[in-house]
Amino acid sequence: MDYFLRALRDAAKSWPLLLASFLCSAGVASLWGANIAALFPIIEVTLNGDSLQSWNGRRIEDARKRIEINKTQEKVINEQFAANILSPEEAAKARSTLDTVLMSKRADEALLYSSEKLDPWLHRFLPADPFTTVLWVVAFVVASTFLKHAFLLVSTLLVAWVATNITRDIRLKVFDKALAVDRAQFMRHGSAGFMAQVTGTSEMLASGITSVFGGAVTEPLKIFACLAGAFCISWQLTLACLTLAPAVGFMMVWLNRRIRAISRNILTKSLGFHHVLLEAFNNVLTVQAYTMEEFERQRFRTCTKDMLKTGMKHTFYYALANPITEVLGIGMVATSIAVGAWLVINQQTEIFGITMCERPMTVPGIMVFFGMLIGASDPVRKLSGVFTGVNVGIVGAQALYPLLDTPSTLHESSTPRSLPRPHREIRLERVSFSYDGIDTVLDDVSVSINFGERVAIVGPNGGGKSTLVNLICRFYDPSKGHVFIDGVPLTDVSLKDLRSRIALVTQQTELFNESILYNIRYGRWDATEEEIFEAAKKAHAHEFISDFPAGYATMVGPNGFRLSGGQRQRIALARAFLRNAEILVLDEATSQIDVESERLIHEALARYVENRTVIMITHRASTLELADSILQVEHGKVTKRPAKQALAAA
């Protein structure tokens, strides 16, 4: 709940819009009650062939007469008390009668006051003809209905704007979080997890915010307007009609807890659903090559079946909320009909000794009272949907905000230190690293790489070669020890400054579903087209790019699937060349390139690597020839040797 309240506080920053929405909702509620109250003059006055002016005049005259009668009765009873002539039983009865007389007198005095205030307005603004009065009332109902819906539209749009902007801000924060977290955190949530948070979970939060500032404001105000009208007719009878409210409230609290728990379950299963879906789509070639289509279909069917079961549970409890709230509405109306009918038929003010009204009720009065309760029952029914929306929003907030609050393990210094360009030395000092805190990948590694040095990293698979590079790029921090550049710990250097010095080409080439020009320009966004073409030529990509009908405007498809593995690697190399960074990191960057292209790229690399540090992970002897030194990584240890000595020993 605290996380959802935090979302509501964020939404409350748009308080002018929410205030305007509240005023519109108040207008909707007032007109909702006014439309029902407009039935009274039609039923009570005009359908009897009377005008409102004469009807109100008779009310004033009758009220004055009743007041005089009550005053007389009050005087007589007080004189009896003063003369002390009543027996105890008679005195008790007289006190009860006096209380009734005083209550009736107060009610008539209030009626007289309001009628006298209303009388000049009726004579000034309303017609004297009964049928014309009906037309005026009908016109008022039609106009107020249009105005009510205009208010409702404005209120809905304002709340939707606030909720949509909060959702947009949350999505931006989740996206920023996904880009900023370290690789370990990203892998823990996965692409599917972040996608589910950006799409479905943020929509859940938006639903909750809309419910709170929309239906949770408008519907209770409509209920209040109708109950206020019913209270004006008979507050005692209104309270009697609300006897079922506590029981219904208890049931709604129980339902809300169930719906919230099921919503959490739906969210969890939705994350699993996204994982299965993305894995199957991202690895569709492997699925087809190993004829695992039926296996993946079964996995997906299992996920959808689980979601179906959970969704049906959610639907059941959501549907159960409607009859529960409707029972309250019907119970209110049924109680009012039973009690009200008895009071009107018998022209009584009490039932079972309990006072229900201050004077006998008329048929038109009780009809308007029924209308007020029916008018209150409709928003009560709609509140069940509001409660569901709030619960969904609470679950969404409980999923989103902990993710946003999770600190990154890569802490940036508040006062980052600057480094000279170019740097002089990269040094790892007694560095140890473990991904899970159990198995050590690198153990007490100390090694230095001078500026301009070309270093090849070799060793068995899983030995820690990529881990070494990841530490230099600060995708991870060491478990022990430090990585320095020119004696400055990487933790004291801003990530932007550090990574702006590095151009990275990975074995698993990552391309965007954009044009070739876009993907190369990603290395340096302010590069000119001439610089892009030159980088592509260095990577020996210009030739095959020019063969495409669209040239550099050719779309590469999701992750470059329209290109061959070698073409993707050459575009990645062109991107790295374009960056013109002082540190070039190549992780098996030519593993999918044919022999001739590799030879040409090595020639380009031999020219490009001058006056820059190059770190190469490779198993190819041709690439090792470019190296000045070789780092042998094995069993968590790193040994550095001159390349000639290492190659001669091999």
- Per-position DSSP letters for 479-521, written without gaps between them: SEEEEEETTEEGGGS-HHHHHTTEEEE-SS----SSBHHHHHH
Look up residue 72 and give its two tokens. 């007389």
Q: Is residue 650 classed exposed, middle or buried when 0-12, 13-18 and 19+ CB atoms within 10 A define those classes?
A: exposed
| Residue partners of 275: CB distance under 8 A and separation at least 6 | 190, 192, 193
Would you mind telling me the total number of residues written for the chain in this entry? 650
The pLDDT, as a whole number, for residue 45 is: 64
* Gap between the Cα atoms of 348 and 359, Å rounded: 8
Residues 399, 444, single domain; the answer is no
**Does residue 12 sit within a domain?**
yes
Residues 485 and 399 in one domain: no
Enclosing H/E stretch for 458: strand 454-458
Q: Would residue 65 count as lying in a domain? A: no
Which pLDDT does position 192 carry in this prediction?
Answer: 67
d(CA 615, CA 162): 50
Do residues 524 and 631 both lie within one domain?
yes
According to DSSP, residue 347 is labeled T
Edge-to-edge strand ranges of the sheet holding 425-434: 440-450, 425-434, 480-485, 488-489
Structure tokens at 190: 């996965």
Determine the Cα angle at 294 with ends 293 and 299, to 5°: 100
Select from 64, 41, 184 the least CA-distant residue to 113.
64
Decide: helix, strand or coil at residue 445.
strand
Structure-block tokens of residue 94? 């007289």
Q: Does residue 346 lie within any of the structural domains?
A: yes
Name residues whose C-beta falls within 8 Å of residue 362's C-beta, 6 or more positions apart in sequence.
44, 344
Residues 524 and 594 in one domain: yes
Task: Render 568-583 in DSSP notation, one character per residue.
Answer: HHHHHHHHHHHHT-SE
Last residue of a domain, one of 405, 440, 471: 405
Residue 180 sits in a domain of what CATH number? 1.20.1560.10
**In a shared domain, residues 383 and 475:** no
> Could you tell me if 394 and 499 lie in one domain?
no
> Per the domain annotation, does 106 fall within a domain?
no
Pick from 268, 149, 258: which is nearest to 200 by CA?
268
**pLDDT at residue number 49:** 67
Secondary structure letter of residue 417 according to DSSP: P
DSSP H or E run through 534: helix 529-538
Q: Which two tokens stand for residue 66?
A: 């009743």
Q: How far apart are CA 386 and CA 220, in angstroms?
A: 11
Residue 76 lies in a domain: no
Handedness of CA 87, 88, 90, 94 (dihedral sign): positive
Indicate whether 110 belongs to any domain.
no
Do 280 and 315 share a structural domain?
yes
Whether 608 maps to a domain, the answer reads yes
The count of C-alpha atoms lying within 13 angstroms of the C-alpha of 6, restricted to the half-sphere facing its C-beta, is 14
The CA angle 204-210-215, to the nearest 5 degrees, is: 125
Point out the domain boundary residue: 376, 405, 434: 405
Is residue 276 within 8 Å of residue 299, measured between CB atoms? yes
Residue 479 shares a structural domain with residue 390: no
One domain for residues 350 and 454: no
Nearest residue to 343 (alpha-carbon basis) of 328, 358, 330, 332: 358
Same domain as 603, residue 472 = yes
- Which tokens in the block code for residue 569? 């690697």
Q: What is the CATH number of the domain that holds 577?
A: 3.40.50.300
For residue 61, being part of any structural domain is answered with no
Following DSSP, what letter does each residue of 264-322 receive, concatenated? Answer: HHHHHHHHHHHHHHHHHHHTHHHHHHTT-HHHHHHHHHHHHHHHHHHHHHHHHHHHHHH
All residue ranges of the chain with pLDDT < 70 are 1, 40-50, 189-192, 349, 353, 355-359, 590-593, 644-650
Q: pLDDT tens-digit profile of 538-561?
A: 888 898 999 999 999 999 988 888
Together in a domain, 397 and 528: no
**pLDDT value at position 530?**
92
Q: Report pLDDT for 413.
A: 81
Q: Which residues of 52-74 are buried (b: 16+ CB within 10 A; e: fewer)?
A: bbebbeebbeebeebbeebeebb
Q: Is there a contact between 541 and 573 (Cβ–Cβ < 8 Å)?
A: yes
H helices present in 181-282, as ranges: 183-196, 202-213, 215-241, 245-282
Closest by CA position to 453, among listed 614, 646, 640? 614
Residue type, 102: L
Domain final residue, candidates 340, 375, 405: 405
Domain total for the chain? 2
In angstroms, rounded to a whole number, what is the distance separating the alpha carbons of residues 609 and 195? 39
* Sheet of 502-505, strand order: 502-505, 583-587, 613-617, 454-458, 629-634, 637-642
Say whether both 435 and 345 belong to one domain.
no
Domain that holds residue 248: 2-51+127-405
Question: Using an 8 Å Cβ cutoff, are 540 and 577 in contact?
Answer: no
